[in-house]
Amino acid sequence: MHKAALVLVLCLVAAAHAQHNFSRTFTVDPSGNADYTTIQAAINAIVPANPAVQQTILIYPGTYAEALTLGAARDHVELRGVDRDAVIISVPMDSDGITIQGNGDRANTIENLTIIAPDDDTPDKGRGIVIKDNGGAAPSNIRIVGVRIETAGDTSPALDFEDACSDIEIREVFIRTTGVNAASIDGRLGSNVQVMDCNSSTDDGRLKPGDNWLISGCFLETRQSAGGTAANDDTAPIELWGNKNLVVDNCALRGRGYGISILYGSGVPDNVVV
């Protein structure tokens, strides 16, 4: 083949590959026996595709001292551990475990790993997973499945919807918070959320849902916090603030005085089925 023709063919093949997006699995192992030794390095290595295709980061056993961010250009990315109890994200002080920050359809999944956050007195830090926007449309289409989250800071929820978000699936998640007033899920800004088959045990926190939620098949417990007083002995595992279209189905609720607390500061709840 003529040299010029060969060059043209190679250019056309390269262009075709550039226009065709392929799913890929990136591997992470702190011992160096994988593509990357840190999870964030694997996240940063993903080149955003247009149109987007799903990319998986497969995380091997180890303790990862990282605060992870799935930013605006990291939609359609799945973080998946190979063993929930052996893949541990040890959150540094003054940080959150995993932050999903972006707009619109995220198609992000967090699956099969453990997040442990320290006793952190920094405001709005020490949380397990945080969902927030990037100054635009509400993030949506996010799955959190088979994850264990432990937080120790006061007011540090395991899951925090910092901004409006929608279409969130939380399934088979184990939550343990030990800080004062540390919610299991602070989801008041989230809509169209499913919380399925989860186990939550908190010292002084509550699950705070938003509108259009389904909470099903869960065990939710609020224990007496260390140093607790009679003033907070009525803490309930679910707290409602004017919620609309909420279903609590087939759940076991163990609270200190109440299973569900209904407060009226944001209006009267409407269409709540328990």
Does residue 229 have a pLDDT over 70? no
Confidence of residue 11 (pLDDT cuts 50, 70, 90): very low
For range 32-45, the mean pLDDT: 97
Average pLDDT, the chain: 89
Least confident of 25-29, 88-92, 119-123, 180-184: 119-123
What are the Cα distances from residue 256, in Å, to 29, 55, 156, 235, 274? Answer: 43, 44, 20, 5, 18
Find the Cα–Cα–Cα–Cα dihedral 142, 143, 148, 151, rounded to 10°. 20
- Sorted by sequence, the CB contacts under 8 Å of residue 97 that are 6+ apart come out as 67, 68, 89, 91, 115, 117, 127, 128, 129, 149
Give the pLDDT of residue 3: 52
Contact 173, 147 (CB under 8 A): yes
Does residue 18 have a pLDDT over 50? no
Cα 156 to Cα 179: distance, rounded to the nearest angstrom: 7
Look up tokens 């023709």; give the residue: 5
Cα 108 to Cα 144: distance, rounded to the nearest angstrom: 9
Give the pLDDT of residue 6: 44
Give the pLDDT of residue 87: 98
Does residue 111 have a pLDDT over 80? yes
In the chain the domains, ranked by start, together with CATH numbers, are 24-273 (2.160.20.10)
Give the pLDDT of residue 10: 44
Does residue 17 have a pLDDT over 80? no
For 209-225, the pLDDT digits (tens) are: 999 999 999 999 998 65
Q: Which residues of 109-144 are buried (b: 16+ CB within 10 A; e: fewer)?
A: bbbbbbbbbbebeeeebbbbbbbbbeeeebbbbbbb
Least confident of 16-20, 228-232, 242-246: 16-20
For range 100-112, the mean pLDDT: 97
Q: Which of 89, 270, 57, 139 is nearest to 160 (CA)?
A: 139
Compute the half-sphere exposure of residue 151: CA atoms within 13 Å on the CB side of its CA.
38
For 45-91, the pLDDT digits (tens) are: 998 876 789 999 999 999 999 999 999 999 999 999 999 999 999 99
